[in-house]
Amino acid sequence: MTANGRERLKGRIAVVTGSAQGIGFAIASRLAQEGATVVIADVNEAVAREAAQRIAQAGGTGAAHRVDIGDDASVTALSAALDAQYGRCEILVNNAAISDGTGIEKMTMARYHEVIRVNQDGAVRMCLAFVPLLKKAKDARRIVNIASIMGVRGWPDAIPYSTAKGAIVNFTRALAADLAPHGIMVNALAPGFVNTPMSILPDGSHEYDSDWFRDIYVKYGRIPLRRYAEPEDMAGPAFFLCSDDARYVTGQILLVDGGASATF
């Protein structure tokens, strides 16, 4: 357990999709540090098990479950398994997504629908399956959707990804209105540039090392903090949205982007 852990989420069940690595793992680790029992829900079961072991080694409680958020049956099976095991869920973090760098001239409808099926519809599937479990919990119910700066700003070569993340933004607002009468808070975290496997370019280089990124976003300050984020930079804001401190926060999109959205 780290110094940050004060067990403010003790006794709560948290499900984080796509949490075997990257932003999802950082969020899952922070929730575990704060006392939550964290379900590492990922399409890669072997890596999910390793992630759950790392959380346990740090003093937290984690369990690994395989889920393909693009598949109805897989999501339903996960919900049923957790209902049988825990009987409730207080926290759902919809983080899982696939990367895409497709512009309109190279895009196919098949690729477009694949990205939408996972990145947009996946969060909807999870909410449909898990809202009944959140209702079974007594209080402190939270849904956090991981959107993106690309869902609130235009971006080249990102039609499917940006469309999906833009939909997550308004899905969050609409769902917050639907679930407010049940006391379930729904918010979204919109990261900027984060050092994850998704930041590796097709040629194997890192986005941060490209001339265009270093010139525009670092040298000329389009990211005022002049650095890439690390996954851990997302964990604190996500924890806030899951915590009791956010009991009057719902329908909000929190941009965690080093100030990038303030400059354009």
Residues 6+ apart with CB under 8 A from 115: 98, 100, 102, 160, 161, 163, 164
Active site residue 161: yes
Which of 161, 208, 220, 248 is catalytic? The answer is 161
Hey, which residues are catalytic here?
161
